Amino acid sequence: MKFGGTSVADADRIRSAARRAIQTRQAGHQVVMVVSAMGDTTDRLMDLAGQINADPPKRELDQLLATGEQVTISLVAMALEAMGAKAISLTAGQIGLVTDDIHTKARIKSIDVRRIREQLEAGRIVIVAGFQGVTENGAVTTLGRGGSNVSLVAIAAALKADVCENYTDVDGIYTADPRIVPTARKIDRISYDEMLELASLGAGVLQNRAVEFAKKYNVPIHVRSSLNSRKGTLIVTETGPMERIVVSGAALKSSLARVTLRNVPNRPGVAARIFHTLANAHVVVDDIIQTIDESRRATVSFTVDLADLADARKVVATICKMQGCRAIFEDHLAKVSAVGVGMRVHTGVAERMFSALAKASINIQNITTSEIKISCLIDRGQGKKALRVVHDAFHLGRSPKGAKKTRRKK
């Protein structure tokens, strides 16, 4: 059971997380809790570090940040003991969660589950610090953004857990953002691949690394609310019945900008150099489209997060000076996407999406696709409307037909 920062933000929430673990224990299960730092602790520590060193050594930053989760595990253990349960808190070092030594974004190498198993066998609820690891030399590392979810999945995989519950402040994964699409429906079951696409298209909750890890080790993740006991969304391996649902969800990424470079020399290596330079400046590039006109010069266009546009402008100015090209910047874009593994075997999905957008007078400025996703770049002002149109076009608000009776245990 994993509890994120908001689910352990204060004494009351810690007690309620503890209560849930005890209920699960009383239902006859062994329970491991993975917890994050309380509320805004990590931000507070980062701020403190920033006051002292504008560019703190990453090893020391990890040594600092890992304290956040250590505070939570001990408090959760205290809460459990106060409620009469037997509990023990363990840091990453104490369970031997070994990572490489790439500080602030370490990768897990191995987990020695003996310590956890011993404690579970002794009847204890085990509380593990998420987000952190140790190198073989005993240095503290952290796993980067979404690291607690990676800890959760890795520990669940190592323990061969029956289920891996991710408690959040939402009820599960929705067919679209319910704040924008009132008819959005909670998805009961979604495949790892669909979840990966949705996550990278801006549907929060779980980061790609955790989902990739879960997919690799085939760990089912149950995303559910820490505020009620309703079932949430099960993220699982793709199975037969899923394919009946052509599109599982729709997503909107607002705040996009497009950079178009015209008159780029069409020589091998030029594009590589452009994107290498952007990567060095830490500009994350989204979709890329390259076309060649009759003059044998290329047009390269790519989208970036609006927040990265200022950085992109600087880098692009240098590139244009070197390559003799010309840049156009557009800062008013959004991207609407439809995602579903069913696209692999069904045709007509793109057509249905394009015509629905056309009928709503929404102009498509760019199209990008993957095997299980179609994305359209549109004007930001039409973003929310476009999301509703796509959601309706695929009847995502309706419960999937026959999904219930064909659902398998796996």
Whole-angstrom distance, CA of residue 279 vs CA of residue 260:
17
Q: Dihedral angle at the C-alpha atoms of 232, 346, 384, 195, nearest 10 degrees?
A: 40
Stretch that binds a second copy, among 87-95, 211-219, 275-283, 401-409 (CB under 8 A): 87-95
Closer residue to a second copy (CB): 17 or 173: 17
Q: How far is the CB of 337 from a second copy (least distance, A)?
A: 41
Distance of CA 59 to the CA centre of its chain: 25
Whole-angstrom distance, CA of residue 57 vs CA of residue 47:
14
Q: How far is the CB of 138 from a second copy (least distance, A)?
A: 5
Contact between 71 and a second copy per CB under 8 A: yes
Q: How far is the CB of 101 from a second copy (least distance, A)?
A: 13
The residue written with tokens 């050594």 in the block is 57
What b/e readout covers 354-387, taking b as 16+ CB neighbours within 10 angstroms?
Answer: bebbeeeebebbeebeeebbbbbbbebebbbbbb
Q: Which residues pair with 168 in a beta bridge?
A: 225
Stretch that binds a second copy, among 55-63, 101-109, 188-196, 284-292 (CB under 8 A): 55-63
Contact between 39 and a second copy per CB under 8 A: no
Contact between 54 and a second copy per CB under 8 A: yes
* First CA to last CA distance, the chain: 21
Backbone angles phi, psi at 404, to 5 degrees: -65, -50
Closer residue to a second copy (CB): 138 or 269: 138
What b/e readout covers 94-121, taking b as 16+ CB neighbours within 10 angstroms?
Answer: bbbbbbebebbbbbbeebebebbeebbe
Among 77, 181, 211, 252, binds a second copy (CB under 8 A): 77
Whole-angstrom distance, CA of residue 136 vs CA of residue 208:
26
Q: Are 298 and 318 in contact (CB under 8 A)?
A: no
Contact between 46 and a second copy per CB under 8 A: no
Closer residue to a second copy (CB): 66 or 206: 66
Contact between 15 and a second copy per CB under 8 A: yes
Stretch that binds a second copy, among 41-49, 215-223, 330-338, 401-409 (CB under 8 A): 41-49
Closer residue to a second copy (CB): 52 or 345: 52
Q: Dihedral angle at the C-alpha atoms of 213, 158, 37, 254, nearest 10 degrees?
A: 10
Contact between 227 and a second copy per CB under 8 A: no
Site for a second copy in 111-170 (CB under 8 A): 138-140
Among 39, 56, 202, 397, binds a second copy (CB under 8 A): 56
Contact between 60 and a second copy per CB under 8 A: yes
Contact between 34 and a second copy per CB under 8 A: no
Contact between 70 and a second copy per CB under 8 A: yes
Q: How far is the CB of 81 from a second copy (least distance, A)?
A: 5
Contact between 45 and a second copy per CB under 8 A: yes
Q: Write the CB contacts of 219 (distance below 8 Å, at least 6 apart in sequence).
A: 153, 156, 157, 161, 164, 213
Whole-angstrom distance, CA of residue 231 vs CA of residue 189:
11
Contact between 93 and a second copy per CB under 8 A: yes
Q: Write the CB contacts of 175 (distance below 8 Å, at least 6 apart in sequence).
A: 181, 184, 185, 186, 187, 248, 249, 250, 391, 396, 397
Stretch that binds a second copy, among 7-15, 264-272, 373-381, 394-402 (CB under 8 A): 7-15
Among 1, 9, 35, 75, binds a second copy (CB under 8 A): 75
The residue written with tokens 């689910």 in the block is 7
Residues that contact a second copy, how many (by CB under 8 A): 37
DSSP-derived pairing of the beta strands 97-99 and 2-3? unpaired
Q: How far is the CB of 71 from a second copy (least distance, A)?
A: 5
The DSSP result for 152-163, as a single string, is: HHHHHHHHT-S-
Q: How far is the CB of 330 from a second copy (least distance, A)?
A: 40
Q: How far is the CB of 62 from a second copy (least distance, A)?
A: 8
Whole-angstrom distance, CA of residue 89 vs CA of residue 78:
9
Q: How far is the CB of 112 from a second copy (least distance, A)?
A: 11
Minimal CA–CA distance to 65: which of 82, 33, 90, 41? 41
Q: How far is the CB of 165 from a second copy (least distance, A)?
A: 22
Contact between 53 and a second copy per CB under 8 A: yes
DSSP 54: S
Among 23, 57, 293, 406, binds a second copy (CB under 8 A): 57
The residues binding a second copy (CB under 8 A) are 11, 14-15, 45, 48-49, 51-54, 56-57, 59-61, 63-64, 66-67, 70-71, 73-75, 77-79, 81-82, 88-89, 91, 93-94, 138-140
